[in-house]
Amino acid sequence: MNDLSALIADTAAKVFADAALQPDAVIAERIEEAGFRGLLTPEDRGGFGGGLAEACSVMRVLGGEGVSLPLGDLMLGARLEAEAGLGDGAVPLEAVNVEGQSTTAPGGLFAWMISGAPKAIAVVQDRVLVAGPRDDDGLIPSLSGRPMTVADFASGVDAGPAGDWSDERIARWRSIMNAALVAGAVDQCLRLTIDHVTQRQQFGRPLSALQAVQQQVAILAARSAAVSAVVEAAARAGEPGLLASAAAAIQSREAATLAISIAHQLHGAMGVTEEYPLHRYTVLLMECRSRGRRAEAWAERVGRRAVSRGGDRLWSDIVEAA
């Protein structure tokens, strides 16, 4: 983590402290006050001019608090809008998650909301398109209970040319930022689990005295380190390539699934209760598995490219990948 990212992580830790216990409107207000919406927006457009590393710092902290907000989409959306000549970055945000599924925008569709109404942003045929929710859908609760809706890009507003932002590039940024959120949440699952197994006594000794328990904790710790390593590498590189983005999606899925299974198994029934914080991370991780392009689809792209380039280039492609 570079110095700037560390500073931003400190700020994020203050902004998101106890965020899971606050109403969405309060978190939204704090996000705006901190200026996180404009984190990725260029400075000459009134933003902070940050990059992927800074965005990942914020996402990781958010994941560590167990708050399931698609802040990455908000930051990326603000940048797209700004670059396409729309959006002043000053409208209050509402905590409504628009997870776009519209058939008119199949690719790098991402979501969010401003200005009192849900709003989704996508790149369709090199144009930035801004859309509201589909009328007939109303709001559907997501796994975390936050309202979610489907965007209607057929009636979207054309904000302007997408510039350097293709569907593919958006999908890559989303994959890395989502992985940062997952990394924060998985790390917290690990911490909670360690605390629990060292304190909880059964058979006259702490659970951690059991080798079967120790080994499960170690498995989770290694996978947590793996997802963090991919995020760190992508953040350092600044612009994620196919391989890093695919690795981020695949590691996120693995780590999320393993964290949910191991943390709950080792917590016993305590883990599913409302009073204990594990459920927040569980639900966040479940939602994260559905965000962005599926891990299988990423893997298929990597496989196709590898086959088309041939076995002799496989190694150099791994080395040169960002």
Partner 1 sequence: MSCVNSSGPTGLRAVGDLAIASVDRELVSLRQEVRAFLAAEGGWFARDRARGWNGHDRAFSQRLAAKGWVGLTWPTTYGGGGRSQAERYVVTEELIAAGAPVSAHWAGDRQVGPLLLKFGSEALKREFLPRLARAEITFCLGMSEPGAGSDLASVRTAARPVEGGWRVSGQKIWTSGAQEAEYMVALVRTGTEDDRHRGLSQLIIDLASEGVSIRPIMTMTGEAHFNEVFLDEVFVPSDRLIGAEGQGWAQVSAELAYERSGPERYLSSFAALAEATDRLDDDATPADHAILGAFVAEHFTLRQMSLEVSRQLSEGLNPAVAAAMVKDLGAGLEQAVPPALQALDSAPPNSASALGYLLKSSPAFSLRGGTREVLRGIIAKDLGVR
Judged by CB under 8 A, does residue 17 bind partner 1? no
Pick the stretch among 96-104, 124-132, 137-145, 211-219 that binds partner 1 (CB under 8 A).
Answer: 211-219
Nearer to partner 1, 3 or 135 (CB): 3
Judged by CB under 8 A, does residue 90 bind partner 1? no
Judged by CB under 8 A, does residue 240 bind partner 1? no
Among 90, 222, 261, 273, the residue binding partner 1 under the rule CB under 8 A is: 222
The least distance separating partner 1 from the CB of residue 33, rounded to whole angstroms, comes to: 8
Q: SS3 for 290-316, per residue?
A: CCCCCHHHHHHHHHHHHHHHCHHHHHH
How far CA 187 is from CA of 193, 278, 291, in Å, comes to 10, 12, 19
Judged by CB under 8 A, does residue 257 bind partner 1? no
Judged by CB under 8 A, does residue 250 bind partner 1? yes
Nearer to partner 1, 12 or 131 (CB): 12
Q: Judge whether 130 and 109 are in contact, CB under 8 Å.
A: no
Total residues in contact with partner 1, by rule CB under 8 A: 68
Pick the stretch among 2-10, 90-98, 100-108, 133-141 that binds partner 1 (CB under 8 A).
Answer: 2-10
Judged by CB under 8 A, does residue 225 bind partner 1? yes
Nearest residue to 288 via CA among 322, 255, 241: 255
Nearer to partner 1, 139 or 322 (CB): 322
Sign of the alpha-carbon torsion through 295, 78, 132, 114: positive
Judged by CB under 8 A, does residue 208 bind partner 1? yes
Q: Judge whether 106 and 62 are in contact, CB under 8 Å.
A: no
The least distance separating partner 1 from the CB of residue 130, rounded to whole angstroms, comes to: 22
Among 19, 39, 82, 159, the residue binding partner 1 under the rule CB under 8 A is: 39
Q: List Cβ<8 Å contacts ≥24 apart for 274-283.
A: 277/20, 277/66, 277/192, 278/189, 278/192, 280/20, 280/66, 280/67, 280/68, 281/66, 281/185, 281/186, 281/188, 281/189, 281/192, 282/189, 283/68, 283/143, 283/144
Nearest residue to 210 via CA among 202, 60, 29, 74: 202
The least distance separating partner 1 from the CB of residue 222, rounded to whole angstroms, comes to: 4
Burial of 109 (0-12, 13-18, 19+ CB in 10 A): buried
Cα(118)–Cα(112) distance, integer angstroms: 6
Among 80, 148, 189, 246, the residue binding partner 1 under the rule CB under 8 A is: 246
The interface mask with partner 1, positions 271-310, x = CB under 8 A, is: ------------------------xxxxxxxxxxxxx--x
Burial pattern 171-187, b for ≥16 Cβ within 10 A else e, equals bbbbbbbbbbbbbbbbb
Among 80, 113, 124, 247, the residue binding partner 1 under the rule CB under 8 A is: 247
Query: Interface with partner 1 by CB under 8 A: which residues?
Result: 2-4, 7-8, 10-11, 33-36, 38-39, 43, 46-48, 50, 54, 190, 194, 197-198, 208, 211, 213-215, 217-219, 221-223, 225-226, 229-230, 232-233, 243-244, 246-247, 250-251, 295-307, 310-312, 314-316, 318-319, 321
